Structure 1
Amino acid sequence: MGSHPHTPTPTTPAGRDGLAAILARPAEALIALDFDGTLADIVPDPDQARAHPGTVEALAELAPQVASVAVITGRPAGVAVRHGGFAGVAGLDHLVVLGHYGAERWDAATGTVQTPAPPPGVAAARAELPGVLDRFGSWEGTWTEDKGRALAVHTRRAADPQGAFDALRGPLGELAARHGLIVEPGRMVLELRPPGMDKGVALTEYVRETGARSVLYAGDDLGDLAAYAAVEKLRTDEADPVPGLLLCSGSTEVRELADQADLLLPGPGAVVEYLRALAGRLADRTG
């Protein structure tokens, strides 16, 4: 019993309540995890990101003891599955990967990705986009990336990347608004996508689906704030509170996330150790 790593104690009362609920009724617990920066170390080229050593083993120890393990990521679900090495692993039968912020879903039980049809606004915007680019003289040098459920216009290859970005921001905003989409600006890229695609929505819907009565969420970046907010809403619901535990991977690098976390961990290696330790504690309770 004493061979398992120690699980650090959450620093907040709400976090301690969340951990206690997971330990008391693990079969009703949802373990939800971001991928990049949480289960995979951050690397300069995202295509080279892979799950931290020991991740799959830790999840395989933990998953059979809880209601479900879900990886929630902005990446396509299939990419996260490949980079994580999650397919065909004994013990991970109930693992779910919610990709594109929940728009895609991969279930280990079937090994298939479910991708709902894109909202009609995406198809309409796709049809109009070349004309908009041509009308504003920005066709030359821009590159449109079709993500299926979103369209991204990259201006980095234009003769004047910043000028093209600035010139297109308004027209693409109007195009998006006409078709019920939003524009998400990035580094020399403007992405047109449906509203409401975030990790908080994905997590809340999956909690409802599984009927989980406690939830752990681990993340590392600003995109995880929506999931944090969803857990906070669940655990402060006066009518039907669901205890939750918020882990921050990477300690204090993203201050906004760290300030809201119940427990700070210094990176994916520490997250994996925490999951292994939690699996060990649950095994000790039932053994």
Structure 2
Amino acid sequence: MPDGLKAIVADPGGAVIGLDFDGTLSPIVPDPAAARIHPDGPAVLARLGELVGAVVIVTGRPAATAVEYGSLAGVPGLVVLGHYGLERWEAGSLTAPPVHPGLERVKAGLPPLVAGLDGVRIEDKERAVAVHTRQAADPQATLDALREPVAALAAEAGLAVEPGKFVLELRPPGMDKGMALSAFLRERAARSVLFAGDDLGDLAAFAAVRASGLPGVTVFSGSSELDVEADLVVDGPPGVLGLLASIADAVESGRTG
């Protein structure tokens, strides 16, 4: 067992369990609006939430969407940091800054950029806009062709581009998953941390785990096409939830042993 996991099991009250949503708790699907948490997810997270210091989901999705798609409202003490940390959902309450004024510019400018590109989908995420190429005949070539014009449009609007697997997301600058996770660790005075993710946007959170100075574990649940350094590699959402269930088993065993 990695030292980070040992620290979590030995002192669960000081542990923060951080998780991405898509590809980590929910299987990747062609239509992002059809994504739902793995069937085992709500029960495993509810169980873990009773045992550790905090469970926090850090996602590019709107926080309320992650709660809805994950059936997560009943997870004890859950915090969801949406839009890479710009939004916060906790105990049924959502807090968020004003919508970035540049979003209207990109919402108007993206349709002409993708016109004629079969299989390209624009997703309005309220405080961000994503361009998906997963359903294109050649997803990677289509994504590569869009990088430069999408980056130019984002720059005009004062937005940042967050690349992912077959997606380019245009969002407000100044926040990423690493910054969001680091701030949460300080807020909770964490003594150990685990973060699980599957895509490029999660690398900042992995770096935050390493930079925290805490006993930590990074868990990669994504495709082998991405070259990612992580302490553990698991097979998608079933692997993540199996790991979380094993942590809960070990904590409960320690309490009764």
TM-score range, shorter chain: 0.7 to 0.9
In structure 1, C-alpha distance between the alignment counterparts of 2:152 and 2:250, rounded to whole Å: 55
Question: Which residue number in structure 2 is paired with residue 268 of structure 1?
Answer: 237
1:38 aligns with 2:9: no
Contact 1:41–1:52 (CA under 8 A) maintained in structure 2 = yes
Contact 2:151–2:161 (CA under 8 A) maintained in structure 1 = no
Pair 182,94 (structure 1): closer, same or farther in 2 beyond 3 Å: same
Question: Which residue number in structure 2 is paired with residue 6 of structure 1?
Answer: none
* Alignment RMSD (CA, Å): 3.4
Give the 4+ runs in structure 1 shifted more than 4 A: 127-130, 141-148, 151-154, 164-171, 183-192
Question: Which residue number in structure 2 is paired with residue 112 of structure 1?
Answer: 93
1:83 aligns with 2:69: yes
Question: Which residue number in structure 1 is paired with residue 138 of structure 2?
Answer: none
Q: CA deviation at 1:93?
A: 2.4
Match of 2:44 among 58, 69, 73: 58
In structure 2, C-alpha distance between the alignment counterparts of 1:152 and 1:273, rounded to whole Å: 30
Contact 1:33–1:217 (CA under 8 A) maintained in structure 2 = yes
Contact 1:33–1:72 (CA under 8 A) maintained in structure 2 = yes
Pair 36,171 (structure 1): closer, same or farther in 2 beyond 3 Å: closer
In structure 2, runs of 5+ residues without a counterpart are 133-141
1:256 aligns with 2:227: yes
Question: Which residue number in structure 1 is paired with residue 137 of structure 2?
Answer: none
Pair 275,175 (structure 1): closer, same or farther in 2 beyond 3 Å: same
Pair 173,246 (structure 1): closer, same or farther in 2 beyond 3 Å: closer
Pairing of 1:240-255 with structure 2 (within 5 A): 241-250=213-222, 253-255=224-226
Question: Which residue number in structure 2 is paired with residue 209 of structure 1?
Answer: 187
Match of 2:207 among 223, 229, 234: 229
1:285 aligns with 2:245: no
Give the secondary-structure state (helix, strand or coil) at the position aligned to 1:65: coil
Q: CA deviation at 1:191?
A: 5.4
Pair 86,187 (structure 1): closer, same or farther in 2 beyond 3 Å: closer
In structure 1, C-alpha distance between the alignment counterparts of 2:66 and 2:154, rounded to whole Å: 30
Question: Which residue number in structure 1 is paired with residue 78 of structure 2?
Answer: 95
In structure 2, C-alpha distance between the alignment counterparts of 1:29 and 1:185, rounded to whole Å: 30
Q: Deviations over 1:80-126 (max 9, x none)?
A: 11111111x2xx2201111111111111x2x12211223xxx32674
Question: Which residue number in structure 1 is paired with residue 173 of structure 2?
Answer: 195
Letter in 2 for 1:286: R
Pair 205,273 (structure 1): closer, same or farther in 2 beyond 3 Å: same
Letter in 1 for 2:79: V
Q: CA deviation at 1:51?
A: 1.1
Q: CA deviation at 1:197?
A: 2.6
Give the secondary-structure state (helix, strand or coil) at the position aligned to 2:227: helix
Give the secondary-structure state (helix, strand or coil) at the position aligned to 1:255: coil
Pair 124,277 (structure 1): closer, same or farther in 2 beyond 3 Å: closer
Pair 211,146 (structure 1): closer, same or farther in 2 beyond 3 Å: same
Pair 97,256 (structure 1): closer, same or farther in 2 beyond 3 Å: same
Q: CA deviation at 1:144?
A: 8.6
Pair 146,65 (structure 1): closer, same or farther in 2 beyond 3 Å: closer
Match of 1:67 among 47, 50, 53: 53
In structure 1, runs of 5+ residues without a counterpart are 1-8, 10-15, 155-160, 235-240
Q: Which has the larger radius of gyration?
A: 1
Q: CA deviation at 1:214?
A: 0.4
Pair 153,247 (structure 1): closer, same or farther in 2 beyond 3 Å: closer
Letter in 2 for 1:210: R
Contact 2:61–2:125 (CA under 8 A) maintained in structure 1 = no
Contact 1:51–1:84 (CA under 8 A) maintained in structure 2 = yes
Letter in 2 for 1:227: A
Contact 2:107–2:129 (CA under 8 A) maintained in structure 1 = no
Question: Which residue number in structure 2 is paired with residue 237 of structure 1?
Answer: none
Give the secondary-structure state (helix, strand or coil) at the position aligned to 2:101: helix
Count of aligned pairs: 243
Contact 1:126–1:151 (CA under 8 A) maintained in structure 2 = no
In structure 2, C-alpha distance between the alignment counterparts of 1:150 and 1:199, rounded to whole Å: 15
